[in-house]
């Protein structure tokens, strides 16, 4: 099974333009406790390179595009996120890397909890050891 879980976000458009509503425990599969966004990423820069122990997130590319590599320790999949009406679920224990940010990329991320550095696994070997127990 692919690690790419996409959430289709209904676009409530009319003649004035488009509107997308994000609701915790409705179209977003957890209570939203934190929102952050990444923009102005410099050419050639890669981000991520970690997994989360407990945190669930949904990433939405509001503008432009970027490429995600998702890895659960067994499988690895890639996906180009480029639509404001598509959310990518970043589940627990999914090592993720982000590449190829377009100049106009604005990546919005909804998170199930407040920021906690202790929830990050930033070392790939440690991730692989923990993921063996998880998978």
**Among 6-14, 32-40, 72-80, 126-134, which window interacts with ligand T46 (CB under 6 A)?**
32-40
- Does residue 92 interact with ligand T46 by CB under 6 A? no
How are beta strands 47-52 and 57-63 bridged, if at all? unpaired
Among 47, 62, 67, 102, binds ligand T46 (CB under 6 A): 47
- Does residue 53 interact with ligand T46 by CB under 6 A? no
Estimate to the nearest angstrom the gap between the alpha carbon of 131 and the chain centroid. Answer: 19
For the segment 7-26, give every residue that binds ligand T46 (CB under 6 A): none
- Does residue 109 interact with ligand T46 by CB under 6 A? yes
- Does residue 57 interact with ligand T46 by CB under 6 A? yes
- Does residue 37 interact with ligand T46 by CB under 6 A? no
Among 36, 74, 75, 135, binds ligand T46 (CB under 6 A): 36
- Does residue 87 interact with ligand T46 by CB under 6 A? no
Return the H-helix or E-strand segment holding 61. strand 57-63
- Does residue 115 interact with ligand T46 by CB under 6 A? yes
Q: Which two tokens stand for residue 110?
A: 């909804």
**Residue whose C-alpha is closest to residue 71's, from 8, 134, 9:** 134
Say how many residues make up the chain.
135
- For 12, residues 6+ apart whose C-beta sits below 8 A from its C-beta are 18, 19, 20, 21
3-state secondary structure of 101: coil
Q: Which residues bind ligand T46 (CB under 6 A)?
A: 34, 36, 38, 47-48, 57, 59, 90, 109, 115
């Amino acid at each position: 099974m692919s690690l790419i879980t996409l959430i289709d976000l209904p676009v409530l458009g009319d003649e004035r333009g488009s509107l997308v509503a994000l609701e915790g425990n409705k179209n977003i599969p957890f209570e939203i406790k934190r929102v952050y966004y990444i923009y102005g990423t410099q050419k050639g820069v890669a981000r991520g390179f970690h997994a989360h122990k407990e945190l669930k997130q949904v990433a939405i590319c509001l503008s432009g595009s970027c490429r995600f590599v998702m890895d659960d320790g067994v499988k690895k999949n890639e996906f180009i996120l480029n639509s404001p009406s598509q959310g990518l679920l970043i589940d627990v224990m999914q090592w993720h890397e982000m590449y190829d940010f377009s100049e106009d990329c604005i990546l919005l991320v909804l998170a199930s909890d407040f920021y906690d550095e202790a929830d990050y696994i930033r070392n790939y070997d440690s991730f692989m050891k923990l993921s063996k127990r998880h998978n």
